Amino acid sequence: MTKELPVINIKAQSNHHALFLMLTAFIIAFITFVFSQGYWRQFQLVITFIYLCALVIFITGLAKYLEPQYSLCLSPKGINYQHRYGQWRIDWPQIQRISLINETFGLTNIQIPYIGIRLKHLSTLADHISPRLANRLIHEQKPLLAFAIKMNLLTIEQSILNFEPFVLSSGEILKGPLAAFLHHCTVLDKALGYHLFLPETAIDRELNEFCTLLTQCMKSSTEYK
């Protein structure tokens, strides 16, 4: 009988309070509806505004509810990152370094709200990320490019989206969203030293604590070989 490997499931901060927000929106709308039965003519604009606020709250809650149940699954084999637009998976042996991202600006030390993951070979990511997520991450990680430009780690020209084919170490040529994302990862690696980035919103604890957890998982993975 095969022994089941332990898995640590991480729930994103962005998932929190989804049902509470939707229930709150429903209660607000219901109370407003009851009130409007006798005062619609006197408070038409106010009531309409409250309905719109309730709708915004409900949509916010619904968006949170539709997020994957877990944003990250850590196992002795590797990391599985789950997003509304897809997922990527990396095995621990493919990772070279995991660290917080700190840069010095003048006399100030700046830590950005991401954990960086540097791969031994970027080509290993090509078969383990969905094209839809690759396309989405390019847009979600624009703040990283803006930060790199501000810190003079990149020029504006270098940060422009590259639609050229990407050649893997095996000689295989990739096109489309995957190629654009791998070019994007290459640019960020040159600027910040990492290929993949886990945002603070995708984890359930402090950045320092979670970075330590990832490092410990990577070291402990050798015990399961």
Please say if the pLDDT value at position 3 is more than 60.
Answer: no
Instruction: Give the pLDDT of residue 178.
Output: 92
Residues 22 and 122 in one domain: no
**Cα 128 from chain centroid (whole Å):** 16
Query: How far is Cα 32 from Cα 36, in angstroms, rounded to an integer?
Result: 6
User: In one letter, which amino acid is 46?
Assistant: V
pLDDT of residue 65: 78
CA atoms of 85 and 151, how far apart (whole Å): 30
In a domain, 5, yes or no: no
Domain count, the chain: 2
- pLDDT of 1: 40
* Residue 103 shares a structural domain with residue 165: yes
Query: Does 187 share its domain with 149?
Result: yes
Does residue 1 form part of some domain? Answer: no
Tens of pLDDT, residue by residue over 147-175, are 999 888 999 998 898 889 998 878 888 99
Give the type of residue at 153.
Answer: L
- Which residues, 6 or more positions from 13, have their beta carbon under 8 angstroms from its beta carbon? 200, 201, 202, 203, 204
pLDDT in tens, 92-127: 999 999 999 988 776 678 889 999 999 999 888 988
Q: How confident is the model at residue 21 (pLDDT cuts 50, 70, 90)?
A: confident
Residues 98, 161, single domain; the answer is yes
Same domain, 133 and 40: no
Both 146 and 210 in one domain: the answer is yes
Residue 78 lies in a domain: no
Q: Which domain holds residue 45?
A: 13-65
Taking the CB of residue 126, how many other CB atoms lie within 10 A of it?
19
| pLDDT score at 225 | 58
Would 6 be classed as within a structural domain? no
Q: Nearest to residue 93, comparing CAs of 224, 222, 223?
A: 222
